A = this chain, B = another copy of it.
Amino acid sequence: MTAPPEPRRKDARRNRAQILGTAREVLADRGLAADMREIAAACGVGVGTVYRHFPTRDALLAAVLADDAAAWTAATTPALADPDAWRGLRAFAEATLGMMARHRAMLDGLSAAETQAAFDACREHLAGVLGELVGRAQEQGRLRVDVSARDVVVQVMALGRAVEMTEADEPGAWRRHLTVVLDGLRAA
């Protein structure tokens, strides 16, 4: 993909890393509502400096979200490895919602057009994994058979809004909401 060209000077490299790190923090708790001036200020640099390292706002978002997308993808490995597909599915859903709760930009980004590109790399992989987990969980008689893999994705994304609504008032309430949905998804 669009290679991030390493700056030549040492201070610039340091700055780039620092911007990525601080931008992640800002995006994590302000979400996509954070504008370039706010991000730059939090990083202690001018907007011009941010633009020196990332050509557009979307590129910066993509750079920040790419790591999280990778971590998200990584969360599928143990889920797939679990012989109990239902448990794997639940673990994956928990990992996903946990990320959303911790990282507001991820929550916003997953349902915003501007950041879809950041998840291109993992979308296919995730679809494959979900398809397999759903299929196996149904074979194992744990997941109701009248839902598709897409339906499961939709339910988890929908719970993203539950995270949005409750995380400020009652952190972790999403676990209760996930329990309800999982109970609804369980085979009778």
Indicate whether A183 reaches chain B with its CB closer than 8 angstroms: yes
Interface SS majority for chain A:
helix
Q: Enumerate chain B residues within 8 angstroms of A147, measured Cβ to Cβ.
A: 176, 180
Instruction: Please list the residues of chain A having a beta carbon within 8 angstroms of any beta carbon in chain B.
Output: 111, 144, 146-147, 151, 154-155, 157-162, 164-166, 173, 176-177, 179-185
The answer to whether A177 touches B154 (Cβ under 8 A) is: yes
Closest approach, in angstroms, between the C-beta of A94 and any C-beta of chain B? 16
Known A180-B184, A184-B181; contact A162-B166, beta-carbon cutoff 8 A = no
A151 near B165 with CB under 8 A, answer: no
Q: Which of A155, A173, A185 has the most CB of B within 10 A?
A: A155
